[in-house]
Structure 1
């Protein structure tokens, strides 16, 4: 797929070659009845793509992706087709490291994804890595709540990206934002089930990672495990800054607001502080409305180096189970106003 400019792939319209699994597998969609003139609706011949079952996992080890696009400028992937990862045959049989991302984009600038339905990915549904100028809209991403590591959209090393008007209900993060990422705008996304919208985890194995200018607005968390979350692993370096979650609707969401600087990536329940930590600063949580399914509505658990410039205002979160909610702060510095429950533990 290298070196192809202004390609238009529609489920269906036209694509000359589609890479699956590794660089040696190509499919000419013209042989399946697609016209490929950029105008004809080819959806009758390309309406659904179904992944092979787990017995074929050897094909994916080299690229670690099923449908892979690399170094394509101006690519449009448009619906209303369906991409089915056949994940139920993979989740219980295959280790995480051997499961592919269903749809992966690497070094693809000016990318557009619209209208598709993504089902039951083997691992992450969509991967965006080393891309710039990406617009994602009107997607439906669906997997069972207990499907392991089935992130909806996973973003890393990318900049200038917009996600809008999308439904994501999976077994892991609805959207996961990793290091090297900046200028991300997420609007009108409904998340649930899933683990919420997460920045991180950052800093694993002492690495240096940066994330900035992430703005999440007008989104809904419906019975998610978490809501708005920033997670870093002790010992890393770099920063997570200029981040906002605003005008958020909560429907029995667990852990609605979380900064977790003692995250262990599943190894332990709580990792102790180290001499170094990702610097978390200039983070705003504003305009949250709805119900929490966890006793801790707000948990700002910062490293001993502290989180700076935290703003928590215009919050009204009540319990979905009839109990008084708690707020926890640890080394968190900032300002607060007009919050239910009260955030009296922020340091000035």
Structure 2
């Protein structure tokens, strides 16, 4: 009987920890309060070389963690079960990353734990939101070249710079992720994705000081669904066109999301005098709820922070097959809809259907502005949709 009871108990322990009974568990073996940088790297490398499924367990408690890179390829699928809280050095401002997962196939990160970037001390010395001539601060968590991965139930708190950055990934899902930083924290994008294919961000909450989700060049097949955003700068495709050798963006779906008290809503932004000529297409925003959102719907092809561009030279980023459908709620200013496309390459095939955005300020009513686009209009339009003459693109 004793053996039976022990087996049942062990089974329930594995279930409570969220671990797989057929995976080898590697515990970091460090007490709470200690610096686990070396222990975690050693444990990860051991698990990565294990011939079958493995789990790296970071138990409950607070731990200090320095800059770390967990690098594959691994011999079998690997899971990081973070149950505790990892705390960065609040005064460390010289590195460009804190935690990096790289070149791993079959990757999971879960366990309900917290990455605490301790960004408050760093924000005071960060002026990247005012000038591009600034010292870059570390991104909290990088996912580079991850294939067939899932990140579930973790929290990123007070990142010094971006919370999460994804590049070169394929089939990577973020689910039930919480991202938290004050509205005044500079450059703390929630999840930035680029040059990847098949990314999903679902059922998550992002409250931060910059874009909740930002989409860089080369992104293909992105789904953002059931995400609550705010405070922050909204959900943005771009900016695009700042650098040479950028890649096309295609297949972006933002659906069933809520934005509340954000500085922007759903937007696409490209630089004038772009350093490249690429395209962004098949971008769809649908079933979006707005709660006192500034600039709720925005295409801005004259995006030019710090005035480091030539606005007289139109953007060469070609935008096409874009839709805004079933967008409803309240605006924080009268400019509810602005579709400001490039006079060199006007937006093509833009659709708007059932837009209902109200503004009650003294300088109202809400407005709808267009430039270099003739959108296809369907259903309700509040404010009343505009029509715009389209400049003929260059041959």
TM-score (norm 2): 0.76
- Residue number in structure 2 paired with 1:27: 38
Deviation at 1:79, TM superposition (A): 2.8
**Kept in 2: contact 1:335–1:346 (CA 8 A):** no
- Cα distance per residue 1:35-84 (max 9 Å; x no partner): 98957975325510000122x334x2xxx210011111111110310110
- Residue number in structure 1 paired with 2:123: 91
SS of corresponding position for 1:44: coil
2:346 to 291, 306, 309: 306
Q: Aligned runs of 1:159-198 on 2, under 5 Å?
A: 159-198=197-236
When the two chains are superposed, the root-mean-square deviation of aligned CA atoms in Å is: 2.6
- Residue number in structure 2 paired with 1:325: 366
Deviation at 1:344, TM superposition (A): 2.4
1:43 to 44, 59, 67: 59
2:302 to 262, 272, 290: 262
Larger relative contact order (CA 8 Å, sep ≥ 6): 1
1:342 to 362, 384, 387: 384
**Consecutive unaligned residues in structure 2, runs of 5 or more:** 1-16, 20-24, 29-35, 48-52, 62-82, 129-134, 391-395
Which protein is richer in strand relative to its size? 1
2:151 to 113, 122, 125: 113
**Kept in 1: contact 2:337–2:369 (CA 8 A):** yes
- Residue number in structure 2 paired with 1:75: 107
Deviation at 1:272, TM superposition (A): 1.6
Rg comparison, structure with higher value: 2
Q: For the residues of structure 2 that align with 1:276 and 1:231, how far apart are their CA atoms?
A: 10
Q: Aligned runs of 1:273-312 on 2, under 5 Å?
A: 273-274=312-313, 277-304=316-343, 305-312=345-352
Distance 1:49 1:343, change over 3 A: same
Q: For the residues of structure 2 that align with 1:297 and 1:79, how far apart are their CA atoms?
A: 41
Q: For the residues of structure 2 that align with 1:281 and 1:15, how far apart are their CA atoms?
A: 49
SS of corresponding position for 2:60: helix
Between 184-193 and 329-338, report the one with greater CA deviation.
Answer: 329-338
SS of corresponding position for 1:303: coil
Deviation at 1:333, TM superposition (A): 2.3
Deviation at 1:273, TM superposition (A): 4.1
SS of corresponding position for 1:90: helix
Q: For the residues of structure 2 that align with 1:233 and 1:16, how far apart are their CA atoms?
A: 48
**Consecutive unaligned residues in structure 1, runs of 5 or more:** 1-10, 18-24
Aligned length: 323
Distance 1:328 1:15, change over 3 A: farther
**Kept in 1: contact 2:290–2:329 (CA 8 A):** yes
Deviation at 1:206, TM superposition (A): 5.0
**Kept in 2: contact 1:12–1:44 (CA 8 A):** no
Matched, 1:149 2:160: no
